[in-house]
Chains A and B, each alone.
Chain A
Amino acid sequence: MKRHHSVRRSRRSVFIAGAAVTATLALVLSGCTGGGAPSGGANDPDAKVTLDFWNGFTGPDGPALQKVVDDFNASQDRVTVKTNIMPWDTLYQKVLTAAAGNSGPDIVAMSASRLPQYIDEGLYQPLDDYYENADFESEALATAAVDASMYDGQNYGVPVNIATMLMYYNKDLFTAAGLDPEKPPTTWDEFADMVPKLTVDENGDGKPEQYAIALADHETVPMYQPFLWNAGGGIVSADGKTSELGSEGSLEALNFWVDLVREQKASPVGLAGADADKLFTTGKAAIEIVGPWMTSGFNDAGLNFGLAPAFAGPTDQITLADVVSMSIPASADETTKQAAYEFFAYWNSTDGQKTWAEGSGFPPTRSDVSSDITGNPYPAMFGAPDVIDNSQVLLAGIAAGGTITTTIFEPALQKALNGEGTVDELFTEASKQVQAELDK
């Protein structure tokens, strides 16, 4: 009796256990997806294509981008572009793992300065045939915007936007400091004279309530690096082979600015880009050198601000340009690529650029549109010839660009700003590290 009972029970428990194993196995295996996607192949001009477009325009410029995409989708019915907007940090981390799997994007927007690192790893395919096709009107595009996505002799991207940095200054804070709100500083020395008036520490606790400028030193669009250019220095030479970080011009610029920030407290130390924006938005900093994406945010905050080219250094007045380019993963097939080209052409057409510039305040990627933009005053300012023609992208076409910025330049700068060594020592050492990276 007992044995019969236990046989039945253990048979049932074996069955239950077996079912549990199968269920778990199914669960585990369903999580594994096959890698590798078909690439190459012929173009099918009649196929309906849906393109997954990843980008980081989470700010107030997002709706303008969406409008251009919607207009493109409405203008024809073969290609549909779907945007997938996420913060830039998330995009940079996800794009690699997504491209390695099967569910990756078809078009990726990325800062042109970050492209070389991913191209080097084999993520993207060259798009030279886009520029060779006269129908796409690529000669109308700004040279800096097109050249920013060049790597190793081939072009891997098509411009999404070119953003130049201008100096935003708070006119009310200038008036309160006894300075003329229509006369922003035009040189470094003029600015240095204004710092004692614009950095205000009323209660004397060593922490100013108001700063003259908000300079971010990490996780930001580069704010310190352009100063090096304007004193005749830089980080890497034009041919990308030699480090210039320890050169005379670079050290002069760094010494000037580190002293100004440390001794005169012209700016807080340890700011991330978002913190710098916050500081200016809340009226706690009188100046910020940043791009056109902040105009609507500042306007919404009710700031009375003016725009002018950033103050000139001893030798130059080069503006920083940040170019965002669209690229196509290497795993995309020919049909997808040609469909993406149609979107690229629409984005950079006169209609597309007009909608984009008016909605976002960014200068258009092509200069023949500027006169048509009436609804928004900012594209004309950021796209003014003396700004755009005198602009430069940081570390363009250098595969180690991202590494140099985040692991060599920024830590050295932060150490200097925290007083952990002199500028000369820290940056001569950093220059050697940059050279080592370039030689790899």
Chain B
Amino acid sequence: MTTLQGAPRRRVSRKAVTAWLFLAPSLLVLVAFTLYPMIQAGYLSLTDYNLIRAAEWVGLDNYVELFADPAFWNAFWNTVLYAAVVTPVTVVLALMLAVFLDRQFVGRAFVRTSIFLPFIVSLGIIAIAWTFLLDPNIGLLSYWLSQAGFVAEQGILSDPRWAMPAVMFVGVWKNVGFYMVIYLAGLQSIPEELREAARLDGANAWQRFRNVTLPLLSNQTMLVSVMALIATLQAFDQIYVMTHGGPFFRTETLVMLIYRQGFQELRFGYGAAISWVLLIFVLLFSMIQYLFFQRRQVKY
């Protein structure tokens, strides 16, 4: 009798131990490379650290300074602008591409692959390629644009009006393939009978899309929007390579500022403070997004 009562408890705890041990490697990596640096950055943000000398405690001085720093606010608004444009454009474009590529046609696999390809290539390398394409003197894209009547005298990347659109374009182009694939998977999970039923009821293509397809894709839309927003708020790679935050800080985003303050001005404490502010900001916006989509979730 006692063995029978004791056995379930022993089985559960052994399973739990096994589970924890299997989770442990990933958890360890997560703790070592994500959680620990976050905590250390939090500590550093309260100091005045420059990598060579020991950190000196300064309390909340870094935070006070950054909220009064025009460079911070410039980077903040640039980041907001970038995210406000790139996130919806990417998501909508990904959805449109998924819908168009859901139907069968010759070469569909090739088109899907070529749209997805930028996602798996390093953003730094892509950005170098785009810098060459947009070079005012030898760039192919610059030449075609000038033939079409659009002449940027000092090059698109050095023009204060066009540098931001250029890096936004590269940002969209890079990730749209990944979100498209997520939407494609979602589209395939929509039962065809629902669309048939809608067609029989006399709904045209747009009505079918809006009333049947789109609501059933809301899980994917939530996933894609949250991922896209988190990624765009941290835009850095292509900006570092293509414009380095220029011309005169017009394309400097928060992560670019963190990099500049940390590695160029050698103010690691200040950079850490800005990165924690960014973290809180991203967390806040992700939560808002999540709550917004929660009530529209498709529950199975």
Say yes or no for A93: interface residue by CB 8 A criterion: yes
Cβ of A13: which chain B residues have Cβ within 8 Å of it?
A: 18, 22
Q: How far is the CB of B8 from chain A (nearest CB, A)?
A: 12
A28 part of interface (Cβ distance < 8 Å): yes
Instruction: State the interface size on chain A (CB cutoff 8 A).
Output: 48
* Cα distance, A182 to B203, chains bound together (Å): 81
Nearest Cβ on chain B to A93's Cβ, whole angstroms? 6
Residue B24 CB within 8 A of the other chain: yes
Q: Please tell me if the beta carbons of B53 and A269 are within 8 angstroms of each other in the complex.
A: no
Establish whether residues B14 and A10, one from each chain, have CB atoms under 8 Å apart when the complex forms: yes
CA distance A270 to B247 in the complex (A): 8
Q: Any chain A CB within 8 A of the CB of B118? A: no
Query: Is the Cβ of A10 less than 8 Å from the Cβ of B18?
Result: yes
User: Is A70 an interface residue when CB atoms closer than 8 A count as contact?
Assistant: no
Cβ of B253 within 8 Å of any chain A Cβ, yes or no, is no
A96 partner, pick from B155, B248, B266, beta carbons under 8 A:
B266
A23-38 vs B, CB cutoff 8 Å, 1 = contact: the mask equals 1110010000000000
Which listed residue, B52, B154, B246, touches A100 by the CB 8 Å rule?
A: B52
**In the complex, which of the residues B53, B154, B263 contacts A268, with contact meaning CB atoms closer than 8 Å?**
B154
1/0 per residue, CB under 8 A from B, across A107-140: the answer is: 0000000000100011100000000000000000
Query: Pick the contact of B21 from A21, A218, A279, A330 — CB < 8 Å?
Result: A21
- Is A17 touching B146 in the complex (CB atoms < 8 A)? no
| A207 adjacent to B151 (CB under 8 Å) | yes
Supposing A17-B18, A97-B51 touch, asked if A270 and B32 sit within 8 A by C-beta, the answer is no
Q: How far is the CA of A412 from the CA of B24 in the complex (A)?
A: 53
Kindly state whether residue B42 has any CB partner on chain A within 8 Å: no
Interface secondary structure of A, over-half rule? helix
Highest count of chain A CB atoms <10 Å: which of B15, B51, B52, B71: B52
**Interfacial residues of chain A within 70-115, with CB under 8 A of chain B in the complex:** 93, 96-97, 99-100
Chain B's closest residue to A9 (CB) is: B18
The chain B residues found within 8 Å of chain A, CB to CB, are 7, 11, 14-15, 17-18, 21-22, 24-25, 28-29, 32, 50-53, 71, 136-137, 146, 151, 153-155, 157-160, 244, 246-249, 263-266
What is the CA–CA distance of A3 and B249 in the complex, to the nearest angstrom? 67
CB atoms of B28 and A414 under 8 A apart: no
- B266 near A20 (CB under 8 angstroms)? no
B25 near A21 with CB under 8 A, answer yes
- Are B18 and A14 in contact, CB atoms less than 8 angstroms apart? yes
* Contact B18–A123 (Cβ < 8 Å): no
Q: How far is the CB of B287 from chain A (nearest CB, A)?
A: 31
- Given A17-B18, A121-B51, verify A28-B24 contact (CB < 8 Å): no
Which residues on the B side are within 8 Å of A278 (C-beta)?
Answer: 137
The answer to whether B51 and A24 touch across the interface, beta carbons within 8 angstroms, is no
Tell me, rounded to whole Å, the shortest Cβ–Cβ distance linking A20 to chain B: 5
Cross-interface CB contact of B7 among A3, A97, A121, cutoff 8 Å = A3
Residue in contact with A207 in the complex, picked from B25, B153, B264, B265, CB distance below 8 Å: B153
Instruction: Contact check, B137 vs A28: say whether CB atoms are below 8 A apart.
Output: no
Nearest-CB residue, chain A, relative to B20 = A17
- 15 new A-B pairs (CB below 8 Å) besides A14-B17, A14-B18, A21-B21? A10-B14, A13-B18, A20-B22, A24-B28, A24-B29, A25-B28, A28-B29, A100-B51, A121-B50, A121-B52, A207-B146, A269-B153, A269-B158, A402-B264, A406-B264
Chain B residue numbers with a CB within 8 Å of A21 are 21, 24-25, 28
Name the A residues within 8 Å of B153 (CB-CB).
206-207, 268-269
Q: How far is the CB of B39 from chain A (nearest CB, A)?
A: 15
Question: A206 vs B248: C-alpha distance in the bound complex, in angstroms?
Answer: 23
Contact partners of B14 in chain A: CB under 8 A? 10, 14
Quick one: closest A residue to B50, CB to CB? Answer: A121
Task: Tell me, yes or no, whether A241 is within 8 Å of chain B by CB.
Answer: no
12 A-B contacts (beta carbon < 8 Å)? A24-B28, A24-B29, A96-B52, A99-B52, A121-B266, A123-B52, A206-B151, A268-B154, A270-B154, A284-B137, A403-B265, A418-B247
For B151, what are the chain A residues with a Cβ–Cβ distance below 8 Å? Answer: 205-207
Q: Please, how many angstroms separate the alpha-carbon atoms of A57 and B29 in the complex?
A: 39
| Cα separation A93 to B260 with both chains bound (whole Å) | 11
Residue from B24, B137, B264 in contact with A24 in the complex, judged by beta carbons closer than 8 Å: B24
A18 touches B21 (CB 8 A): yes
Q: In the complex the two chains form, what is the Cα distance from A406 to B245 in whole Å?
A: 11
Distance between Cα atoms of A344 and B204 in the complex (Å):
82
Closest B residue to A101 by beta carbon equals B51
Contacts of B137 in A (CB 8 A): 275, 278-279, 282, 284
B253 vs chain A, min Cβ distance (A): 16
Give 6 nearest A-B pairs by CB, closest first. A270-B158, A17-B21, A411-B248, A270-B154, A24-B25, A21-B24
Closest to B11 in A: A6
Is A420 on the interface with B (CB-CB < 8 A)? yes
Residue from the list A17, A100, A407 in contact with B24, Cβ < 8 A:
A17
Q: Which residue of B lies closest to A93 (CB)?
A: B263
* Chain B min CB distance to A285 (Å): 11
Per the bound structure, the CA–CA distance linking A193 and B266 in Å amounts to: 45
> Cβ of B160 and Cβ of A420 under 8 Å apart?
yes
